Chain A
């Protein structure tokens, strides 16, 4: 209302010009806001992806960088584009790769399930805790990030080794006589992944549960539903977005995990991260390494795209 008083003393032409100017600033600001994330994604995600994709379609050569050019000028006038699919064919023909992919997906899935089984009650407990305990508990979840990830994995090596803390303790208690091998087994890899990625499960779950209206539980109880039924019919469906977000945040990086299987699994656990490292650093075969990465990406992205598609469809239906 106060604007009216101001506009009265300004001639209409100037007022119009001002409105247009303000409007254009506003709309260009809007454009900027919308396009900033696109530029970011373009430069830091999409461009590297295309570079890797390009390398995966090249041929190994002894050169620097060690792959052939995709685009070549022949006779100074004709452009040829060479796409080499050999790397992909090689990956599909050698059973080592298929086995490693399957193993990676298996380890990542099982770890995700364990993270969920541990993380869900923890997140729920934090939500239910008092006003003093809540920030402390949340702080404790984030606390491990203050120490180096590598250091924490080495600490687990110390705990799980044959002469490590756990085995020494069990032996001194007389529970076992010879050490149980834990380090350099799949078990150690599970422990490492679940331990490392647990906060990525808990935090989205917490954020999701925070929004949950506790009177809904009371309403369910009021309508005759016991605690277990209420959990499955009300709480679980309403926390599904948190479960999905947390699971993706654990599953995706766990699939490509390199450090944990390398340090805790030793040579006994093959995961795609290690294979990729070997191709890239030891064999210096960039094209195959790139192909391995692209296949991994497709394996992870395709199911998500399908899920998104059906999700969008089902929300249209209701």
Chain B
């Protein structure tokens, strides 16, 4: 009982080549990693195609780094297989893998200049001196660090170190670039700027990226596809839109963005509508899957998909209920309202502040009686 995106062409326009006939660049097959009794990565399966910018998203300790380290070859899977570019990586040491990693703490060599750090990897591949210096010039231009060639890592700012680490991993033009929380150490503004830089760079060099992050906004901005991890397992894999608009279960709906979640029972089924009885009333939900009458379901409702008005909505058929404004959080561009229903249940609603309020009062204010209403297609059917 999973609700799939209704329009399959939607995922087409998203990522680059995800042609089924092309062999995936990275194939993870039933990979398990145990540390003693503790299972850090639990039966993970994944295909990543060439040119993707793939995000592993999950809370701290869910096994993201462990999975990435298995791809780089620093940890061996307890069972399962990792195949990169058609080659089984089981017996391939890190220094022979076609991957490069950007470490969470950057791991720059402190006794080498920026230039030497970057050339280290190229020297291992036996490039000529002139080729190495050409490549270093190119990559330093890309990350805008040409004036810092001779500096030691200790003499650079956090943002500059991060770019050196990126350059060092990129310069070898790996088939697969692994980035562990690459922007974690940066402040918000710099992080956002670097996110777009990363996307530009990925666009230019065409390397396949696997990025680990715990920041859902970062994952949404960066990636062509996201795998959401929890307790060592993949909970859902999909494009940012799929994950946000069609979460499979309550965990995802709550983890990515926020959602009002109601428990309910199916009381009517029709071709593409369900009528569901919940604690706050009966509602219509649009769907495109088989759900039998009487079954137990959850529906999720994103705060920004709920309309708020003092007047009764014109469309009488729309899902609606009455409530009282309990609290307002003014965020500038939007406001977040807490609406108390008759049952006592609080519903989160966000609405854009499209008009500039005079005398700092909103047209909707504390203790106002309001209608909340939403389209049948806006509510998300969740399992579990």
Contacts and interface: CB of A to CB of B under 8 A. Distances in A.
Contacts of B101: 219, 222
A223 B107 contact: no
10 contacts: A215-B107, A218-B72, A222-B169, A223-B121, A224-B95, A224-B121, A225-B121, A225-B124, A237-B111, A318-B152
B173 to A, nearest CB: 12
B210 to A, nearest CB: 14
B103 A215 contact: yes
Interface in B112-136: 113, 120-121, 124-125
Given A221-B73, A223-B168, A224-B172, 8 more contacts: A213-B105, A218-B74, A219-B108, A221-B93, A222-B95, A223-B95, A223-B124, A233-B120
Interface in B84-113: 93-96, 99-101, 103, 105, 107-111, 113
Contacts of B169: 222
B109 to A, nearest CB: 6
Interface of A: 213, 215-216, 218-226, 229, 233-234, 237-238, 318
Contacts of B150: 318
Contacts of A237: 111
B111 A224 contact: no
Contacts of A225: 95, 120-121, 124
A242 B168 CA distance: 28
Contacts of A216: 107, 109
A265 to B, nearest CB: 41
Contacts of A213: 105, 107
Interface of B: 72-74, 93-96, 99-101, 103, 105, 107-111, 113, 120-121, 124-125, 150, 152, 168-169, 172
B94 A222 contact: yes
A223 B120 CA distance: 7
B110 A238 contact: yes
Contact of B94 (A218, A229, A233, A234): A218
Contacts of B125: 224
Nearest to B108: A219
A144 B82 CA distance: 50
A154 B111 CA distance: 45
A318 B169 CA distance: 24
B105 A229 contact: no
A221 B69 CA distance: 12
Contact of B100 (A215, A222, A233, A318): A222
A220 B100 CA distance: 10
A218 B103 contact: yes
A222 B99 contact: yes
A128 to B, nearest CB: 15
A226 B107 contact: no
The 6 closest A-B pairs by CB, nearest first: A223-B121, A224-B124, A219-B107, A221-B94, A215-B107, A221-B95
A223 B100 contact: yes
Contacts of B103: 215, 218-219
B330 to A, nearest CB: 28
A226 B110 contact: no
A130 to B, nearest CB: 13
Given A223-B100, A223-B172, A225-B124, A218 B107 contact: yes
B22 to A, nearest CB: 27
Given A229-B124, A318-B152, A222 B72 contact: yes
Of A216, A224, A238, the most chain B CB neighbours within 10 A belong to: A224
A238 B107 CA distance: 13
Contact of B111 (A220, A222, A223, A238): A238
Nearest to B101: A222
Contacts of B113: 318
A216 B165 CA distance: 12
A281 to B, nearest CB: 49
A229 B101 CA distance: 19
A95 to B, nearest CB: 45
A240 to B, nearest CB: 9
Contacts of B109: 216, 219-220, 234
A237 B95 CA distance: 20
B105 to A, nearest CB: 6
B152 A226 contact: no
A75 to B, nearest CB: 66
Contacts of B107: 213, 215-216, 218-219
A219 B166 CA distance: 12
Contacts of A223: 95, 100, 120-121, 124, 168, 172
A311 to B, nearest CB: 14
A218 B172 CA distance: 16
Contacts of A226: 95
A229 B100 CA distance: 18
A224 B123 CA distance: 9
A226 B123 CA distance: 12
Contacts of A233: 120
A222 to B, nearest CB: 5
Contacts of A229: 124
Residue with the greatest number of chain B CB neighbours at <10 A, chosen from A222, A225, A229: A222
Contacts of A318: 113, 150, 152
A10 B51 CA distance: 69
